[in-house]
């Protein structure tokens, strides 16, 4: 499964260990916005761009990530993050990939405008849902 990560799961960050032996496919971005939820930034779907990294990983690693992100497929209402399929624009060639990514599952938080890196070409690449 392809998974798009950002923040603490990115290379050289605190939770990268779970991704260490997964296949790195490239840097990219997806549509979304960052929020400050006091302890850490979180992302939600929205107009803006989230930069991150794309990986291919097996189901065992996905289950590890689900645990780290507090995602419970059987009880999404009680999940801290929700895993959703998104379009990823790869930075090196502009190609599109489908991948899963984790998005914050609650409404509380303060929008962090300075964390978004909007890219004009993204509006042409990512289909609105």
What's the confidence (pLDDT) of residue 107? 62
Counting Cα atoms < 13 Å in the Cβ hemisphere of 115 gives: 20
Q: How confident is the prediction along the chain (129 residues), in pLDDT tens digits per residue? A: 999 998 777 776 656 667 778 899 999 999 988 776 666 667 777 778 888 999 999 999 999 999 988 999 998 888 888 999 999 999 999 999 999 999 888 764 444 444 433 333 333 343 333
Domain made up of 2-118: CATH architecture: Roll (3.10)
What pTM value is reported for the model? 0.77
Q: What is the CA radius of gyration of the chain?
A: 14
Query: Could you state, in order of their start, the residue ranges of all structural domains in the chain?
Result: 2-118
Among 117, 57, 58, 60, smallest CA distance to 89 is for 117
């Amino acid at each position: 499964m392809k998974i798009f990560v950002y923040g603490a799961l990115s290379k050289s960050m605190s939770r990268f260990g779970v991704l260490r032996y997964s296949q790195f496919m490239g840097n990219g971005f997806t549509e979304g916005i960052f929020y400050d939820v006091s302890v850490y930034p979180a992302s939600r779907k929205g107009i803006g761009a989230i930069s991150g990294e794309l990986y291919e990983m097996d189901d065992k690693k996905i289950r590890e990530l689900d645990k780290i992100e507090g995602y419970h497929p059987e009880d999404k209402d009680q999940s801290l993050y929700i895993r959703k399929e998104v379009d990823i624009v790869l930075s090196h060639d502009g190609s599109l990939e489908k991948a899963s990514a984790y998005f914050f599952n609650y409404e509380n938080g303060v929008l962090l405008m300075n964390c978004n890196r909007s890219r004009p070409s993204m509006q042409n690449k990512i289909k609105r849902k």
